[in-house]
């Protein structure tokens, strides 16, 4: 059951990719509570069905594989036919397979880049014609793009691309003419299904906590609130920014 919160995004059509679990799911639910109509996407049909129930009529959950540009194009055509516009876009879909550079295969590299880089680029590109005047876009990056991530350099590099891509769009003259703002939210270590292996390992969990000045992992709901801020009029003079939600990790 959705709980009422101030409707800062009331009646806005919002699209969230990678929403079947973790941060994306938390963002979708927070948007619905804020009054938006949410189109949540992901690859797990089972999880999407559960999310659709949780959205309680305040949105829909539909399959989308962002690693396939043709699938993105088809989805956006359908989005246009059904809703006519996108007022807020959250480009969140991503993978973090933790591949070692010395054993990296071309297949592993391509699989990661197809989602994290190509998926982000073509999600935005195909959504662009649907973005309304004054729309807001948030890309979900990672603190790894600022600090690097030993043992996972390829993932950090992919998020570095997302950060630079989004911040460049945020000051694009063409987008400024349409009053479209683009920002990045960069989470630090967050407890989600994606990090479950680490958070269930006491030694790994404590090791990471020692790297964070606040001495704890973040929660997906905390990232969701940062995303909502950048999507709402509360951040109306903010574009091209990178908002870190990392307990201070990137500043030490």
The dihedral built from the CA positions of residue 112, 113, 117 and 121, taken in this order, carries a sign that is negative
Q: Which residues make Cβ contacts (< 8 Å) with residue 21, sequence separation at least 6? A: 42, 44, 47, 192, 193, 194
Contact at 8 Å (CB) between 143 and 246? yes
Instruction: Count CB-CB contacts under 10 A for residue 221.
Output: 13
SS3 content of the chain, % helix, strand, coil (to 5): 50, 20, 35
How are beta strands 59-63 and 37-42 bridged, if at all?
parallel
The catalytic residue among 155, 180, 226, 227 is 155
Give the span between the Cα atoms of 42 and 92, in whole angstroms: 10
**Is 109 a catalytic site residue?**
no
**Cross-strand bridge partners of residue 90:** 16, 138
Contact at 8 Å (CB) between 85 and 39? no
CA dist 118 to 101, 105, 125, Å?
20, 18, 10
CA dist 150 to 72, 157, 159, Å?
32, 11, 14
Q: What's the token pair of residue 222?
A: 């905390």
| Residue 243: φ, ψ to 5° | -95, 115
Which residues are annotated as catalytic?
A: 155
């Amino acid at each position: 059951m959705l709980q009422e919160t101030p409707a800062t995004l009331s009646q806005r059509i919002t699209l969230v990719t990678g929403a079947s679990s973790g941060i994306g799911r938390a963002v979708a639910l927070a948007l619905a509570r804020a009054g938006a109509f949410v189109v949540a996407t992901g690859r797990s049909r089972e999880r999407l069905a559960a999310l659709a129930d949780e959205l309680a009529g305040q949105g829909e959950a539909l399959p989308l594989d962002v690693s396939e540009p043709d699938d993105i194009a088809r989805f956006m055509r359908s989005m246009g036919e059904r809703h006519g516009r996108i007022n807020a876009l959250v480009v969140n879909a991503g993978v973090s397979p933790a591949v070692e550079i010395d054993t990296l295969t071309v297949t592993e590299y391509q699989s990661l880049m197809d989602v994290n880089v190509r998926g982000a680029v073509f999600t935005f590109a195909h959504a662009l014609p649907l973005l309304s005047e004054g729309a807001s876009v948030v890309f979900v990056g990672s603190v790894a793009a600022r600090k690097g991530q030993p043992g996972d350099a390829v993932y950090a590099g992919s998020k570095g691309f997302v950060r630079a891509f989004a911040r460049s769009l945020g000051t694009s003259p063409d987008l400024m003419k349409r009053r479209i703002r683009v920002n990045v939210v960069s989470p630090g270590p967050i407890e989600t299904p994606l990090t479950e292996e680490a958070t269930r390992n006491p030694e790994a969990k404590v090791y990471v906590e020692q790297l964070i000045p606040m001495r704890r992992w973040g929660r997906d709901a905390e990232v969701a609130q940062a995303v909502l801020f950048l999507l709402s009029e509360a951040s109306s003079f903010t574009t091209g920014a990178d908002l870190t939600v990392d307990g201070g990790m990137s500043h030490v």
